[in-house]
A = this chain, B = another copy of it.
Amino acid sequence: MYKSKQPKLVADWERLKKIFIRPEDDDCKEILVKYMEQILFGLHEFINRNVGVTEEISLKELTAGFQDTVINSDPEKKLAEVISDIISQIAPRAVNVASPYFVGHMTAAIPFFMVHLKAIVAALNQNVIKLETSKVLSVLEKQVLAKIHRLIYGFDETFYNKHVQNADTSLGSFTTGGTTANLTALWVARNRFFSPFDCINKSTININTDTGSIDRIHAGSHPDNIELTDNNIELAGNKLTGRFDGIESEGIAQALRAYSLDNAVLLVSKRGHFSLRKSGGILGIGNRNVIPVDVNAEHRMDAIKLLRTIRDIKKDGKTGVISVVGVAGATETGIVDPLDDIADICEEQRINFHVDAAWGGPVMLSEKYSHKLKGIERADSVTVDGHKQFFMPMTCGMVFFKSPLSMNHIAYHSNYVNRQGSVDLGIKTLEGSREANSLILDSALKIMGTRGYALMIDHGIETAKKFAQEIRNRDLFELITEPELNILTYRMVPPGFRQRLENADANEKKRLNAQIDQINISIQRKQREAGKSFVSRTRMAYGGMADQVDGTMADEVVVLRSVIMNPMTNISILNEVLDEQERILKSLGYVILN
């Protein structure tokens, strides 16, 4: 319609220059600010809307306007039009993740200043892959990483003075999310496990390793000590001979041969995030070799079963355990694995220990609840997300390594960037070019302080406790997983079903639960479609027998999942969510009982 109102836009050099030239005069400035005003307040409407998650049925209508696949050769719109289109056409069809009634996923409201900080990062457009395109931002990234590393590992001042700006060592890296953070950690663990060795010239045995001893590197599959004889390395009865340049260079098949192994595995809690299985696939280990460890009734990794699994695996001496992965804040339940027990086992068995704290990591900022992550300081590596409980905008994750040398296992150099001996951050990262997200986290920490973050963390955990109590108090609801942090799962159980379940035999239970599953699926859908509030849905089992890592779904029931991270979400809002679900159940109930 705007076409009728104004002359056709043309792409010419004058217009192009305008687009690049920075505001010199006040008219220019006014226009730029006007645009930003549009953005900051035009979206206001959207933010105060209901959550508006689409039912999949309406996807057809939604996609109707997004079919054209030809790019216009001439400009179609001016920025002002594009912005108002976004405000009038896109925003109303997006999901209002900022609503305090949106308690279904790990994406929520972010402090308004995050938008300002993101704009700064975009305006500077630094690329932290190398010093020549980032300079102080590379320096700042190392400092911010050291701050979070210190929060996790708490080494002494001397340690951090030595490493905070050390060009040869790395305490961690910013990534684009928890998935690439986990992938980076397991990539390092894989390479560390299959380190290079040289039996002829022993001086190079420990090249690229950060432990100074080959048995530590290899302990994963070989508890025995290592005999260093003249021309070979005796390893649990297997003679390592010749020279091996490392798995990164030679690949997995060669690595297994070099270490006389048939297979290598990762051990992960059944509640582990699917990115861990995916990492096993990407790294060439094979995702069926990402072995799920049973969880106990509280859905925590069962340490006894972990130890038993390790012993079984090692029995034949032909399978290497690259790493054990514990979870601190499971995606579905918010549960924290018994990190200290797992650390004990990994130390005793000399296995690499990674903790996926993508969700739970920032709980360390809370004086009141940081104890829940006890043992994380013993992990060889830790994943923490910036865009989750650090309340940063997408897309930001981090990975940290206890040893400042671990990341040498993934170092890459080239002639044009990341030259040997340079301080370029891109030498030891999975990603290449990266924006300077450290500036956002650094600024946020200055604006909030640990106490500001702690307020939000504590509020989430305590509101979840109240929510759990409310669920227990209501006859129509059943709490499935207690909220250790700020996530819980529950389901609705229609009148009568509870008692019938108690008296039912196994088969009858299955039949009844299948019915209850259908009811809960409908409730979640109908609530989502109503668009006022949103809880998510997954499958869990009583007694934590659910199996997520290997994808099977034995003995599971459908549960409703609530994630309470928005500080504006309170118990009265959550009561409204439950009330609505009761109303929906009533409306369904008739259908079912007829």
Contact = CB atoms under 8 A, between A and B. Distances in A.
Contacts of A434: 176-177, 394-395
Contact of A247 (B136, B286, B432, B551): B286
B22 A48 contact: yes
Nearest to A15: B452
Contacts of A278: 412
A567 B83 CA distance: 25
B135 A53 contact: yes
A98 interface: yes
B22 A44 contact: yes
A394 B90 contact: no
A285 B251 contact: yes
A281 interface: yes
A249 B287 contact: yes
Contact of A71 (B39, B131, B450): B450
Contact of A66 (B9, B15, B165, B287): B165
A253 B248 contact: no
A94 B126 contact: yes
A4 interface: no
Contact of A23 (B16, B40, B94, B249): B40
8 contacts: A23-B44, A73-B449, A82-B446, A94-B126, A250-B286, A281-B412, A282-B282, A394-B435
A431 B177 contact: yes
B135 A54 contact: yes
Interface in A178-193: 178-180, 183, 187
A91 B17 contact: no
Contacts of A430: 179-180, 282
A245 interface: yes
Contact of A94 (B78, B91, B107, B134): B134
Contacts of A161: 67
Interface string A245-286: 101111111101000001100000000011101100111111
A571 B402 CA distance: 51
Nearest to A251: B286
B447 A94 contact: no
A82 B262 CA distance: 55
Contacts of A534: 132
A39 to B, nearest CB: 5
Nearest to A95: B135
Interface in A409-436: 410, 412-418, 422-423, 430-436
A75 B448 contact: yes
A61 B104 CA distance: 48
Total copies of the chain? 2
A428 B361 CA distance: 27
A127 interface: yes
A284 B416 contact: no
A385 to B, nearest CB: 8
Interface stretch (A143-151, A474-482, A575-583): A143-151
Residue in A68, A95, A179 with the greatest tally of chain B CB atoms within 10 Å: A95
Given A107-B127, A119-B122, A251-B285, 14 more contacts: A11-B449, A17-B567, A19-B113, A35-B113, A40-B119, A62-B135, A71-B151, A73-B450, A78-B447, A107-B133, A110-B125, A180-B430, A251-B289, A414-B548
B256 A142 contact: no
Contact of A435 (B37, B164, B395): B395
A586 interface: no
Nearest to A10: B451
A228 interface: no
Interface in A53-89: 53-54, 56, 59, 62-63, 66-79, 82-83, 86
Nearest to A421: B56
Interface string A387-405: 1000001110000000000
Nearest to A35: B116
Contacts of A256: 253
A305 interface: no
A543 interface: no
A72 B75 CA distance: 49
A165 B142 CA distance: 42
Interface string A24-55: 00000100110111011101101110001110
Contact of A36 (B19, B36, B385, B416): B36
Contact of A286 (B248, B282, B436): B248
Contacts of A140: 66, 90
Given A82-B446, A422-B56, A177 B245 contact: no
A147 B69 contact: yes
Residue in A126, A161, A247, A262 with the greatest tally of chain B CB atoms within 10 Å: A126
B284 A94 contact: no
A288 interface: yes
